Amino acid sequence: MESLAIVIIILFSIALFAGPIAILLTAKTLTNRLNSKNERVLSFINFIRRVILITLVTLAAIVGFQFLTISQIPLIPRAAGLFALVTSYIAIRREFFPQRFIVGSLIKRIPRGKKDQGNIE
């Protein structure tokens, strides 16, 4: 029974902490410093950072998807699974697709009222 509790704690820890840690690994200051110089040590550290990032995102996505798809599970684990999926998605977008801004382009399409429409006379 204690081993089951340990497994549950490990799964919840992965779901709650893997995504935010992966987001921290994609911080602008960290990536700018690692990419600024062409030293072998910094490129190796950047490689290790990306391997850890991909591992954390993969674990968070797997655990989060499992928490969301198991049919008879309470609301709290489902919320933790959704949190894991969203944070892992954010980390992947920040690392590998930083030039794409989906939310910004969606906000630009929203009509804001009469001020933005101009004179149509």
Residue 120 within a domain:
no
Question: Is the model's pLDDT at 10 over the cut of 70?
Answer: yes
Residue 121: inside a domain? no
Query: Please, what sign has the CA dihedral across residues 41, 42, 47, 50?
Result: positive
pLDDT per position as a tens digit, 41-92: 888 888 999 999 999 999 999 999 999 998 888 999 999 999 999 999 999 9
* Residue 58, domain member (yes or no): yes
| Tally of structural domains, the chain | 1
**Which residues, including other chains, have CB under 8 Å from residue 66's CB and lie 6 or more apart?**
81
What residues make up the domain containing 51? Answer: 2-113
Task: Report how far residue 86's alpha carbon sits from residue 17's, in angstroms, rounded to the nearest whole number.
Answer: 12
Q: Which two tokens stand for residue 82?
A: 């959704």
In whole angstroms, give the CA distance from residue 100 to residue 93.
Answer: 8
